[in-house]
Structure 1
Amino acid sequence: MKKITIGLLMLCSTLVFSQEDALVFFADKENVADALANPLTILTQDALDRKQLHGTPIDERDVPVTPSYVSEIKDQPGITVYAKSKWMNSVYVRGSQANIENLVNLSFVEEIEFLNDNLNFSPPISGTRDKFEIENNSQRVVYDYGLAANQVEMISADYLHEQDFTGAGIVVAVLDSGFPNVTSIPGFSDMINEGRLLGTYDFVLKQETLDNTSSHGTRVLSDMAAIDEGQLVGTAPGASYYLYRTEDTNSENPVEEAYWVEALERADSLGVYVTNTSLGYQDFDDASYDHDYSDLDGQTTIAARGANHAFDKGMLLVTSAGNDGNGFGFVATPADAPGVLTVGAVDGSENYASFSSYGPTSDGRIKPDVMAQGENAAVIGQFGDVFFNNGTSFASPIMAGAVASLWQARPQTTNAELMQIVREASSMFENPSNTMGYGIPNFEEALMMLQQLDTDEFLLENEFGVYPNPVQEYLTVSFPRNITSAELTLMNVLGERVLKTKVSNTNNRVEVSKLTSGVYIAAITSEGKTNSFKIIKK
């Protein structure tokens, strides 16, 4: 049975012809088996290489939406298609409520989800909030050498650069509101001249050029990609970049979330590792589309759903928490998604910036995840000038660039492993808060943790191991590759043997519950090789 999710059912005939927005979900896709059997028809080789490196599955979600379905939707009376999503197998449409409801009669339409649920309708008090209000309040001054030093050194991204990890070989997609003059600003000349600007696309106007758009994205990009000697160097000056416009600054409508998901899908198909999103969505021009707090559970909004698909596909999404700390308060979407590394803002002294949106999400998770400098952050503007801006919009790219540089050190690391390392390397990991999340990361510490993964993997492959330690009842022996049996001996501190037994890779548990509490030496011998461990018996 087909399901229709309709957020607003009105009896007033005068509203029947008003314009509504909705997601239209399709029942299936064509040629799925052929596409999966020949993945180069739907993904680039770079995308296949990244997915193979990380063990990311290629599945039906990677297959494009059936073009004939999209065409037939476009041909329906009064319907305009604005975006499509292969991950969700859907299109984003606008039309009258009646015309949208009629789409369910098409054989390939499975579900319709209106964006206007009107469950907690409350008209805006003073119009739609300008999400870039804080960022656009700029303090223009003349800067000396090391302008960006504080924001880079605060998270020890400079240590990564000293180790020659600048993001080289890592592809980053920046999803924003526009990137005017990027190809002519001197601070981006290294990226341009070295061919590391891989492509651009405007998902709002459906064109390659990004001219005559908001300068917000240019400033955001500078905190990652710029090299302006003596003025500002970003946190991933060696990475390669795709620039995508998904934000329409002329209006605020949930279609922008659909554009954003489209951009993620393109990024994934091109082999992107890291994305930066300095955008967030909570209130709209039409207040009936607003996301209330209960929607911000990381699973409900279009953006959150798309983010979780992107994370599942192997990308690491870095996203600003938002600038609503003194207003709505909580992080907007997609910052609420569990598949996103959400970044809040601190000032130059590492104190919480009051405008930074906070958590928890409505389902109780810690957000933001981490913090970076977003108050008086150095940026390059659309005319090449360097100045200070405020906003989590700049904390996010500072973090995203550091993540890209870190990933260069060990590209086989999965996105989930890398995200967790960044959290664990943060100043408040043991005691997170709703305003600061897990705190400010130290990327020198994160690099050491990342490199330890190689050591751990080597030991697992080539050495014996024992766990848990301390032990109470059973001691388990882990075997290196190609060894199937060994002898385990336990000695007490007096050098007396208290236990000797055979173990194998299929029978590797040894009961020690009857031993007295204390310290023991475990010796595991096989093929003339012995590994010794100090064991604590509880």
Structure 2
Amino acid sequence: MVRVVLPLLTVAACSVAADQTKIHPRLLRELAVAAGANIVVEFKGRADEVLAKAGPESTTSLAEHVYSTLQAHADVSQAAALHILRNDKLESASTLKPTSLWITNSLYIPGATQAVADALAKLPEVLAVRHEDVLTLDLPTVVDAATNVTAEWGVAKTQAPLVWAEGFTGAGVVVGSIDTGVRGTHEALRSNFRALHGWYDPTAQLAEPSDTHGHGSHTLGSAVGGLGVGVAPDAKWIACRGCPGGSCPESALVACAQFMVCPTDVHGANPRCDLKPHVVTNSWGSTVDWPFKKAIVDAWRAAGILPVFSIGNSGPSCSSVGYPGGYANVIGVGATDDADALGYFSSKGPTADGRMKPDLSAPGVRVTSCGATGDAAYVSMSGTSMAAPHVAGAIALLISAKPGISYDEVYMLLTTTAETKSLANDASTCGGLPGTAYPNNNFGHGRLDILGAIEKLVAKPAC
């Protein structure tokens, strides 16, 4: 999956003058005062463009088609850059360990020098040479520890237990998570871990699901946890540790995004595209719209994966949405409390190009879910991070009711059945949409009501 290319010191350096307009100003400033920096080299050919040019898949699965097409394109477009990085005259070439990332058509090079950046900027196929971005989780407020969890309020508010009573519990569905990791031995999560190609840690290479931070265990618990904490308790889960320690290096996030398209073993080898998840819950992002974020979600959508993202905790001001949650081809989720009021921190639309966001809101204030300090630990947190997994779990219930359901139908069902009557209207008018009418840039289409969505899905036409 993630290719680490070891330099071979054999080739002469390129003599073409470096195009420093391709080198990001921030990186130039960093390299002016430091011996090296972690850099990302972007190449021509976005995921959506490459896949469109390749045409539809033939006998392969959607995920296999995405993987093989983007991997082949990356191999060709990155060849000259890797050729340069094997140069015996290039300063520090012997210590470079570039990682090829096919889903974003980029190279990640830790500890690169100015000479490395200059050499790569000469190549016509290189779009940009920049610093590695480090994103943040939509960090929650930890309210307090919790005990005796039998019916978490957010699960009840979305009416998930009534959906379970109809026989739809998420069975047969796989939910992916990119976060700080997961306490895989937690009592509410251990029974539905899909061990086969179910865990990857691109940074520390830990062989078993682990979470030293707590954010990832909490979010995944809200999606698929048992014992009353999760929306889809019979769904299986897989996870990738893209945010070790609470921050999310671009290289780790992209490696995890690739893992979701074609899950690997714990060493990042032996990809199995047939084991991809149906839906991925994500509680990370930033207000900066770096191209790699769009490449990830474009590839996921092409692979048939449904992406769910928290919208961010930068509210209450308008136009405070984060990305990827702000993209048109993902479900971006805001947060509500137990009185159906909007969380004060929940980011609001519109997006920079004027689109309405969030798409939907869900429980995200004082939500109780799995803790990472013990196998029976629970903790209450607040944030849009907590809201997104409720929607991911709801999607798992929809898929269990209708295997093969499309993104468009899922989106329609969730947004047209969202609860609005009980909401404590937000008076803000953002992007010209008053907070008292729906949809709007505060709650989106309303608060998640999975029972309403299921009933609309399974309703029999009138005779």
Q: Which residue of 2 aligns with 1:397?
A: 389
Q: Are 2:298 and 1:281 aligned? A: no
CA distance in structure 2 between the aligned counterparts of 1:151 and 1:345, rounded to whole angstroms: 11
CA distance in structure 1 between the aligned counterparts of 2:132 and 2:71, rounded to whole angstroms: 29
CA distance in structure 1 between the aligned counterparts of 2:104 and 2:139, rounded to whole angstroms: 32
SS at match of 2:188: helix
> Retained in 2: the 8 A contact 1:83–1:262?
no
- After superposition, residues 155-304 of structure 1 pair within 5 angstroms as 155-180=158-183, 182=184, 184-192=185-193, 199-211=198-210, 213-228=212-227, 232-249=228-245, 253-267=249-263, 269=273, 270-282=275-287, 291=288, 295=289, 300-304=290-294
SS at match of 1:173: strand
Query: Which of residues 299, 306, 316 is equivalent to 2:296?
Result: 306
Offset at residue 344 of structure 1 (A): 1.0
Q: Which amino acid aligns with 1:134?
A: P
Q: Which residue of 2 aligns with 1:61?
A: 70
SS at match of 1:91: strand
**CA 144–60 in structure 1, closer or farther in 2 if over 3 Å, else same:** closer
Q: Which amino acid aligns with 1:203?
A: P
CA distance in structure 2 between the aligned counterparts of 1:12 and 1:164, rounded to whole angstroms: 57
Query: Which of residues 344, 351, 361 is equivalent to 2:334?
Result: 344
Q: Which residue of 1 aligns with 2:447?
A: 440
Offset at residue 51 of structure 1 (A): 6.5
Query: Which of residues 14, 21, 43 is equivalent to 2:39?
Result: 21
Query: Which of residues 401, 404, 410 is equivalent to 1:409?
Result: 401
Offset at residue 409 of structure 1 (A): 1.0
SS at match of 1:416: helix
Query: Which of residues 405, 411, 425 is equivalent to 1:419?
Result: 411
CA distance in structure 1 between the aligned counterparts of 2:200 and 2:30, rounded to whole angstroms: 41
**CA 385–245 in structure 1, closer or farther in 2 if over 3 Å, else same:** same
CA distance in structure 1 between the aligned counterparts of 2:396 and 2:131, rounded to whole angstroms: 37
Q: Which amino acid aligns with 1:114?
A: V
Deviations for 1:464-508, whole angstroms, at most 9, x for unmatched residues? xxxxxxxxxxxxxxxxxxxxxxxxxxxxxxxxxxxxxxxxxxxxx
Q: Which residue of 2 aligns with 1:519?
A: none
> Retained in 1: the 8 A contact 2:334–2:362?
yes
Offset at residue 334 of structure 1 (A): 1.4
CA distance in structure 1 between the aligned counterparts of 2:140 and 2:403, rounded to whole angstroms: 36
SS at match of 1:418: helix
Q: 5+ unaligned residues in a row in structure 2: which ranges? A: 1-15, 264-271, 422-436
CA distance in structure 2 between the aligned counterparts of 1:281 and 1:81, rounded to whole angstroms: 27
Query: Which of residues 129, 152, 176 is equivalent to 1:114?
Result: 129
Query: Which of residues 97, 103, 111 is equivalent to 1:87?
Result: 103
Alpha-carbon RMSD: 4.0
**CA 421–59 in structure 1, closer or farther in 2 if over 3 Å, else same:** farther
**Following superposition, which runs of at least 4 residues in structure 1 exceed 6 angstroms of deviation?**
1-4, 26-29, 56-59
> Retained in 1: the 8 A contact 2:171–2:234?
yes
Q: Which amino acid aligns with 1:280?
A: G
SS at match of 2:418: coil
SS at match of 2:109: strand
Offset at residue 275 of structure 1 (A): 0.3
**CA 206–308 in structure 1, closer or farther in 2 if over 3 Å, else same:** same
> Retained in 2: the 8 A contact 1:23–1:92?
yes
SS at match of 2:125: strand
**CA 425–168 in structure 1, closer or farther in 2 if over 3 Å, else same:** same
Q: Which residue of 2 aligns with 1:378?
A: 368
Q: Which amino acid aligns with 1:93?
A: I
Q: Which residue of 2 aligns with 1:431?
A: 438
CA distance in structure 1 between the aligned counterparts of 2:146 and 2:244, rounded to whole angstroms: 30
CA distance in structure 1 between the aligned counterparts of 2:128 and 2:179, rounded to whole angstroms: 26
Offset at residue 161 of structure 1 (A): 1.1
Deviations for 1:389-441, whole angstroms, at most 9, x for unmatched residues? 11111111111111111111112221222122211221359722222111112
Q: Which amino acid aligns with 1:393?
A: S
Deviations for 1:60-104, whole angstroms, at most 9, x for unmatched residues? 236584399486476465475565432333223342343123125
Offset at residue 176 of structure 1 (A): 0.5
CA distance in structure 1 between the aligned counterparts of 2:135 and 2:279, rounded to whole angstroms: 29
Q: Which residue of 1 aligns with 2:9?
A: none
> Retained in 2: the 8 A contact 1:7–1:117?
no
> Retained in 2: the 8 A contact 1:224–1:401?
yes
**CA 264–361 in structure 1, closer or farther in 2 if over 3 Å, else same:** farther
CA distance in structure 1 between the aligned counterparts of 2:414 and 2:454, rounded to whole angstroms: 9
> Retained in 1: the 8 A contact 2:103–2:295?
no
User: Size of the alignment, in residue pairs?
Assistant: 404
CA distance in structure 1 between the aligned counterparts of 2:222 and 2:246, rounded to whole angstroms: 25
CA distance in structure 2 between the aligned counterparts of 1:275 and 1:390, rounded to whole angstroms: 20
CA distance in structure 1 between the aligned counterparts of 2:128 and 2:338, rounded to whole angstroms: 44
> Retained in 2: the 8 A contact 1:227–1:234?
yes
SS at match of 2:143: coil
CA distance in structure 2 between the aligned counterparts of 1:163 and 1:396, rounded to whole angstroms: 24
> Retained in 1: the 8 A contact 2:180–2:211?
no
Offset at residue 219 of structure 1 (A): 1.4
CA distance in structure 2 between the aligned counterparts of 1:13 and 1:386, rounded to whole angstroms: 44
**CA 58–385 in structure 1, closer or farther in 2 if over 3 Å, else same:** closer
CA distance in structure 2 between the aligned counterparts of 1:11 and 1:355, rounded to whole angstroms: 34
Q: Which amino acid aligns with 1:445?
A: G
**CA 141–61 in structure 1, closer or farther in 2 if over 3 Å, else same:** closer
Query: Bigger radius of gyration, 1 or 2?
Result: 1
SS at match of 2:333: strand
Q: Which residue of 1 aligns with 2:434?
A: none
> Retained in 1: the 8 A contact 2:310–2:384?
yes
Offset at residue 273 of structure 1 (A): 0.9
Deviations for 1:1-44, whole angstroms, at most 9, x for unmatched residues? 99973321859994484525223326899xx99xx7774xxxxx
Pick which of 399-408 and 424-433 moved more. Answer: 424-433
> Retained in 2: the 8 A contact 1:345–1:395?
yes
**CA 280–451 in structure 1, closer or farther in 2 if over 3 Å, else same:** same
Q: Which residue of 2 aligns with 1:450?
A: 457
CA distance in structure 2 between the aligned counterparts of 1:420 and 1:81, rounded to whole angstroms: 45
CA distance in structure 2 between the aligned counterparts of 1:134 and 1:13, rounded to whole angstroms: 34
